[in-house]
Structure 1
Amino acid sequence: MGFIMQETAGVMGASAATGALAGEMSGHGAQAGMAGAVVPPGLEEISAANAARVAAYAAEATAILEASSAVHGAYGASTGTSAAIGTLTDALNAAGLGNLL
C-alpha cells in the first residue's frame, strides 16, 4: 500500500497559474480576431479572396483560442477544488484519528 502526499499550497498555486493562463489565452483570442479585420489592398478579386482567407483563418484561430481558454479555466477551477477537498479530507481524517487515539 502506498501513500499519495499532496502539497496543498503547490496545488493551489498551480490552480492560480492555470487560471492566469486561461486569461492570457482569451486575450490572444481577441488579438487573433483583430487580425481578421483585413482590408484588401486592391480592387481585384485575388486581393479580396486573400483578405477573405485571412479573415477566415483569424476567425478559426479565435474560436480555438477561446475554447482552449475555457478548458484551461475549468481545469484551474477543478484543480483548486481538488486541493480544497484534499485539505478537508485530511482534516476530517485527523479528527477521526484523534477521537480513536
Structure 2
Amino acid sequence: MTKRNGPPRKPDREPSTLTCSPNPQTAVQNVIVFVLSAFLGNEILSKVPTWLGFFALVVAMINVVGGFLVTDRMLQMFARRQKPPAASEKSQEGAKTPVQ
C-alpha cells in the first residue's frame, strides 16, 4: 500500500445519531419515557411496570436531593467564617451571670 499525502478524507457517511452521548438531558428523557410508558401503557399481567416506574421516580428524587445537599455543602466551604468572640467579651458575659 502506498501512503497517501494530504488532508484526511471525510468518511463516506455521517456517524450514527443513535450513539449514546453522556448528556444529563438524555438520561432525564429516558426516565420520563420509561415512567410514562409504565403508567400509560396497556395493562400487563403484573404490576411490574408500575413498580419499576415508582422505583425510578424514587431514585430520581434521591438523586436530585443528594445533588442539592452536595451543592450546599460545597458552597459552605467557600463561605466566610465568623470570628470567635474576643476573650474580654467572654469574661464580661460570665460576670453578668448570677451564681446560684
Question: Normalised by the size of structure 2, how large is the TM-score?
Answer: 0.45
Tell which structure's C-alpha radius of gyration is larger. 2
Report which structure shows greater RCO (CA 8 Å, sep ≥6): 1
Structure with greater helix percent: 1
